[in-house]
Amino acid sequence: MLLSLHVELSEFIVHTCILFVEASWLCTLSKGLLAPSRGLTQGSQNPEKQRVFHIHEVRDKLREIVGASTNWRDHVKAMEERKLLHSFLAASQKGLPPRRMKDSYIEVLLPLGSQPELREKYLTVQNTVRFGRILEDLDSLGVLICYMHNKIHSAKMSPLSIVTALVDRIDMCKKSLSPEQDIKFSGHVSWVGKTSMEVKMHMFQLHDNEFSPVLDATFVMVARDSENKGPAFVNPLTLESPEEEEIFRQGELNQGTRVAFSSMSLLKMAPTAEEMTTIHEMFLNTLDPKTISFRSRVLPPNAVWMENSKLKSLDICHPQERNIFNRIFGGFLMRRAYELGWATACNFGGSRPFIVTVDDIMFQKPVEVGSLLFLSSQVCFTQGNYIQVRVHSEVASLQDKEHMTTNVFHFTFLSEKEVPLVFPRTYGESMLYLDGQRHFSSMSAPVTLKKDHLIEP
């Protein structure tokens, strides 16, 4: 799901999102099926008693909610019909009934173990689960959760167009992902503003007859009107327990962090004194000691110029990859960016990398069906076994050669062996290096490499 070009980011201003989450690489969940939030496992509506969706039902349910057609030729008619839903939109948030966290709670089963015919779509050549496919599932699930929160019982279709604005953060746990064991997702709305919602999602895999945590994900969604042209109000959130109050408080902190750190973006502010010292020391380390010249540059041992770490790809955006609003599915964009980022880390490090963290993926512009999608990936920071990869996404139409940025993706990988240092040549590359360093520093502690505990592409 993609954020519309003209969306008013009044509730969060994000470019560089650097969240310092306590023990962020570890799932905050204890083992078990119902651990997405301990506050949600209590009360009259125990999530354990709720229906579990099949993964295939998620996108079918979304099509039903918005009235989308599975036939590409009918998409114009379907979108015209959505204009009639304007009368169901609230004039203010006060006119909408409050909802509980439990109202949006969903569990979804990906039965890789019990339905082997599903495996090939998710299978890697190393006999693990493709993380890019998981990103697609998380994107669809996040949107469905928000529609459950804003459900109108008197209307068959929702007047809201809910789209992904930001992938705030995805943190991996040290749990193996087997293509032969069932996977379960769960999630709920954790915070709401006037037109935006934060969604917490969790992923588990069956291990020794118990669902063990695999990842935690935080997405930010925004609500638009029925034609996806302007903002729309969402239902407020009521809190029923101290645990839910803590979840909501964390959502407010995340919101404040996003706004605060956006003002520190290197596109807006100069580097700190410490960062400038880092860049100057790196520059001095690349000067040729045989000459007295700032122009003569040589690499230190076990180092690579940043410009030599790039990989690029091109995709034609076909109707098959469209979302329920007939633009290119945001999960598809994330998958393609992740797979290019993984290949970049693999090519750079010379061994198989494992994903540790995904953060700060902002959907700046929707991608239209028929667009040319250009992805450019490069290593922007390394330390020990870690590789920080930045993937830049831009589109151009078949008629117009102008390129426009749609997304910037940030991935932290862990290699099986120590990787070379990466050195910038230019000032622009130096800013990319510092930005990568900031994203890497958002991990509060290092992850110990165990091959059977991390996830491949």
Which pLDDT value is given to residue 445?
53
Instruction: Report yes or no on 407 lying in a domain.
Output: yes
Rounded CA gap, 435 and 432, in Å?
Answer: 5
Question: Residues 260, 277: one domain?
Answer: no
Do the Cβ atoms of 127 and 102 come closer than 8 Å? no
Task: Give whole-number Cα distances, 424 to 153, 254, 283, 385, in Å.
Answer: 56, 31, 8, 19
Q: In whole angstroms, how far apart are CA 214 and each of 185, 207, 252, 273?
A: 10, 11, 25, 38
Of 268 and 413, more confident: 413
pLDDT attached to residue 10: 42
| 98: in domain | yes
Residues 287 and 254 in one domain: no
Alpha helices (runs of H) in 188-299, residue ranges in sequence order: 242-262, 273-285
- The answer to whether residue 319 sits within a structural domain is yes
Residues 69 and 156 in one domain: yes
358 closest CA partner among 407, 318, 309, 401: 407
Task: Give yes or no for a contact between 134 and 112, defined as CB atoms under 8 angstroms apart.
Answer: no
Boundary residue ending a domain (264, 291, 318): 264
What is the distance between the alpha carbons of residues 354 and 215, in angstroms, rounded to a whole number? 14
Percent residues over pLDDT 90 in the chain: 59
In this structure, the answer to whether residues 100 and 67 fall within a common structural domain is yes
Q: What is the overall mean pLDDT for the chain?
A: 84
What percent of the chain is predicted at pLDDT more than 70?
85
pLDDT attached to residue 444: 53
Start-to-end C-alpha separation, the chain:
21
pLDDT (tens digit per residue) in 13-23: 333 333 333 33
CB atoms within 10 A of CB 126: 11
Q: Which whole number is the average pLDDT over 423-429?
A: 95
CA angle 138/142/94 to nearest 5° reads: 170
**Residue 260 sits in the same domain as residue 282:** no
Q: What pLDDT score does 381 carry?
A: 97
Residue-level pLDDT at 39: 38
**Placement of tokens 């609003």 in the chain:** 325
> For 211, left (φ over 0), alpha (ψ -120 to 50), or beta?
beta
* Count of other CB atoms within 10 angstroms of residue 89: 17
Same domain, 407 and 327: yes
The count of domains in the chain is 2
Question: Is pLDDT of 30 > 60?
Answer: no
d(CA 77, CA 221): 26
pLDDT value, residue 325:
84
Q: Classify residue 25: in a domain, yes or no.
A: no
Residue 299 within a domain: yes
- 137: pLDDT strictly greater than 60: yes
Predicted confidence band of residue 80 (pLDDT cuts 50, 70, 90):
confident
Domain range holding 296? 273-442
Q: Which of 222, 243, 264 is the last residue of a domain?
A: 264
Domain for residue 91, yes or no? yes
pLDDT for position 174: 58
* Cα gap 419→350, rounded to integer Å: 8
Q: DSSP string of 163-220? A: EEEEEEEEEE-S----TTS-EEEEEEEEEE-SSEEEEEEEEEEEETTEEEEEEEEEEE
The confidence band for 69, taking pLDDT boundaries of 50, 70 and 90, is: confident
- Look at residue 358 in the predicted model and tell me its pLDDT: 94
Please tell me the pTM assigned to this model: 0.85
Of 237, 264, 291, the last residue of a domain is 264
Residue 150 shares a structural domain with residue 223 = yes
pLDDT interval class at 79 (50, 70, 90): confident
Of the candidates 141, 150, 145, 157, the residue with the CA atom closest to the CA atom of residue 109: 141
Q: What are 301's two structure tokens?
A: 């041992």
**Digit-coded pLDDT (tens) for 278-309:** 999 999 999 987 787 777 788 999 999 999 99
- Counting Cβ atoms within 10 Å, is residue 21 exposed (0-12), middle (13-18) or buried (19+)? buried
- Do 300 and 400 share a structural domain? yes
94 and 174 both lie in a single domain: yes
pLDDT at 343 over 90: yes
Q: What is the pLDDT of residue 384?
A: 94
**Structure token pair of residue 112:** 């890789």
Indicate whether 67 and 164 sit together in one domain: yes
If you compute the radius of gyration of the chain from its CA atoms, what whole number of angstroms results?
A: 22
Lowest mean pLDDT among 32-41, 235-244, 316-325, 395-404: 32-41
Give the residue among 452, 384, 399, 361 at the shortest CA–CA distance from 177.
452
pLDDT at 448: 52
Q: Are 366 and 307 in the same domain? A: yes
Q: What is the CATH number of the domain that holds 413?
A: 3.10.129.10
The span from the CA of 371 to the CA of 395, in Å, is 6
Residues 129 and 166 occupy one common structural domain? yes
* Residue 131, domain member (yes or no): yes
Place of tokens 């032969």: 180
pLDDT at 375: 96
Residue 207's pLDDT band, with cuts at 50, 70 and 90, is: confident
- Residues 6+ positions from 19 with CB-CB distance below 8 Å: 168, 169, 254, 257, 258, 261, 359, 442
Quick check: is 403 in a domain? yes
pLDDT mean over 232-246 = 96
